[in-house]
Amino acid sequence: MNTPVLISDFVNRKSFIELDARARAQSLFDEGTYKELVGPFDRIESPWLAKQGIAPQSDDGCIVIKGKIGGSPAVAIAFEGAFQGGSVGEVSGAKMTAALDLAAKDSEAGKSTAAVLLLETGGVRLQEANLGLAAVAEIISSALVLRRHAPVITIVAGTVGCFGGMSLVAGVSSYTIMTREARLGLNGPEVIEQESGIDEFDSSDRALIWAIHGGEQRVGMGLADSLVEDDADKIAAAVRDSVHKGVPDKHRTEQVELYRARIAALDTSSQIDPATLRQQWANPKGVVR
């Protein structure tokens, strides 16, 4: 017979990706410390979807949970990827902004409250275009206020990934946690293919897509902080670590010169493949380190 199966850990683990947004958010908190705010029974639905013939969802695909993580106050805001691609509309955007603002208010008053954003989203909800865009701006400005006082932690676990305006929110966060299954990028693969042609980017080429947008590459390039297995306990532990680390000395988005220099140093005379990109990025030519 074959050697004993070595995948029992994998089989017995509690998958994070298989949980819905609410269960994902709940799994991060200390047992018995959390409660949901503006939950489904408050029935604050999108007023715009029904007008366009689309059934709304009673929480607008945005779940807000307040509680304690590793003993510290925290709020988790999770987007449900299965509802309208996790898109951000007027209501879901307002829920996220309000949660971040309340966390900032508590933090300014001396009760440091971290925010955990679980982003499974294609970005702005096209049916609520302008309101969604405004929401992204509000979320970013609220995150920028909060991150001065307490860490803003983004989790992109998959399988939707995090794209569009919400990828900017991931960009301004203090720490980003990803799995190998997750993808993070400004323009999604299908959007790039549609706009620039299949020669530019073949969105059906999964190996290519994950080599560029995938968690391993993002963490490898330092654009995300930790690569964690699809395991609810390990992700919760990574979040607790990030909460305890507190506010980083310098956020990624405060290091404009560093990233500008890295981009300038790339050799674009030939097509760079993802592995070479990671290498060149880590050891930029002509950049004093």
Partner 1 sequence: MEKIEFNYPEAKRLITKRAHVGVVGSGDMEVLLEPNSEEGARVFITTSVNGFGNAWKAVFDRFFSKFDGAVRIYINDAGATPGSVLLRLEQAVEVIEQ
Does position 158 bind partner 1 by CB under 8 A? no
Does position 43 bind partner 1 by CB under 8 A? yes
Does position 190 bind partner 1 by CB under 8 A? no
Query: CB 17: neighbour CB atoms within 10 A?
Result: 18
Does position 80 bind partner 1 by CB under 8 A? yes
Does position 56 bind partner 1 by CB under 8 A? yes
Q: Which long-range contacts (CB under 8 A, 24 or more apart) does 50-54 make?
A: 52/127, 54/84, 54/127
Amino acid, single-letter form, for residue 178: M
Does position 201 bind partner 1 by CB under 8 A? no
Shortest distance (Å) from residue 66 CB to partner 1: 18
Question: Applying CB under 8 A, which of residues 33, 35, 47, 54 lies at the interface with partner 1?
Answer: 54
Q: Residue 56: helix, strand or coil by DSSP?
A: coil
Q: What is the CA radius of gyration of the chain?
A: 19
Q: Which stretch binds partner 1 (CB under 8 A): 77-85, 135-143, 144-152, 250-258?
A: 77-85
Contacts of 200 (CB under 8 A, 6+ apart): 192, 193
Shortest distance (Å) from residue 156 CB to partner 1: 19
Could you tell me how many residues make up the chain? Answer: 289
Does position 50 bind partner 1 by CB under 8 A? yes
Does position 159 bind partner 1 by CB under 8 A? no
Does position 57 bind partner 1 by CB under 8 A? yes
Which residue is listed with tokens 């290498």?
A: 279
